[in-house]
Chain A
Amino acid sequence: MQVVVRDLAKRFQGSVAVDQVSFSVEKGRLLTLLGPSGSGKTTTLMMIAGFVEPDAGGIEIAGRDVTRLPPNRRELGVVFQSYALFPHKTVFDNIAFPLEIRKRPRSEIAPRVARLLDMMKLAALRDRGIGQISGGQKQRVALARALVFEPPVLLMDEPLGALDKKLREELQTEIKALQRSLGVTAIYVTHDQEEAMAMSDAIAIMNDGRIVQMGTPDQLYEAPANRFVAQFLGGINLFRTLDLEHGEDGVCATIEGGIRVPCGRPAVPENGPSWVGIRPERVSLVESGGRERALFDATVIRSTYLGGAMLYILRNTAGVEFSARVPVGGARRTLAAGVTVGVSWMPDDARLLG
């Protein structure tokens, strides 16, 4: 394990910022701390970086206990949300900074910086001032500067937060490829769930200072531990559960309105499930009273055209609102508001949530 974090805790003026946070990251892997703002993800990262002193717990990097070590002796590459490039230095001098501080000879600095400039497609900008380059270029410089001294671990705090969507997606791919090819272990902080899904080997979802669930992106999406994870990651429709029967074909839940829905063989939460959850893109809409058997009927309230798909907001007979994301094209006709449709889903796609 390249990074091991044990029972990290931090309070700010009496309120809990981080509590009992533990995780580990294998060499060469990218772990994302994902959560809403105020969930403690940045505080956790800053404790690993050494800028925030933990009240309790320990941090190990490459087998070395760094909990009480000052940040400059932890040998971590850190990329800050605001880029934190030195405005009084050129692109080249920014990237050379960590090597100069380490008193490397000039003859070594120049080729190492040049290599990163090439790798990050920045060679043409080497003598530019920081004020003369774009946001995406700044992010590349920040990344190059954090990697030039070959730290075993790279920490990134919402590095793409200030960029527009297209550039963000481009850089996600680039950062991921770079991290892979250099084999550097990375911890990435973001509140953007799509970004977390696209980049991570593993994701730790945080809320109120704690890790709620940790796993690979598909584990978290397919088997969310609770309502928070399911809603935060991708969004989910929730139906309050009134009763649960365990039958031969699996579990069958009775939801509001006395509607019975088969749920396959899902994991049943410890405290008893109170919700049936179904992802909007796994809801199918069929002709009401048609040949395909529907679980229940619902009325379309409004629809939004998303390009590749339609997002319908519907209300069932019990008055519960939910959404369905249906691909557009082929023989499918779009549904107008007020139309009544049948609603169904594959039993295995339903989740029982506490």
Chain B
Amino acid sequence: MLEARSLRRLHLGPVGFTLEAGECVSVSGKSGAGKSLLLRMVADLDPHDGDVTLDGAPCSAMAAPAWRRMVTYVAADAGWWDDRVAAHFAPDIDLAALLPQVGIPPDAVAWPVARLSTGERQRLALLRALRPANRVLLLDEPTSGLDPANSVLVEALLRARLAAGTAILMVTHDSEQAARMASHHLEVRDGELRELAR
């Protein structure tokens, strides 16, 4: 479904990979190896060489905002552009009903962002990226700050998306999580992308 070819920026690349619908692929590597760089290139958030196609349609031939609504990057430390939690979500969704899915009480709808803990912010950043248009999720350490119970919730949410046909490229340092979630495992090392044996 998603195919990346000859991606290159700074010390990373050229690299390529493919993602099938409903497939999760993990990305590991040392800090600074270029894992986030890779995800950001796929979302076209930085200037780079190479191109990515979704069902054969190239990113470079599409308006960038339209691409990012389908191929969505969720940063490890997500940003907040409003003081209120609810302002970060589309008005057409029932946020209070969704919050318990990630272990957050429904009344957090009315909270200010400043009241959220690091882990709550991380889960809300993931939740706000899950939109109907979304086909591919590029997740940068989605459970790094979470306790085991909340990690389980997030993984369950991601499995539901996978079952619905969304593809996920996920940076994770947790090899057990990678084994639980992903069918293929990539490693960024010395500027290259290698497939690890299962």
Q: Do A and B bind each other?
A: no
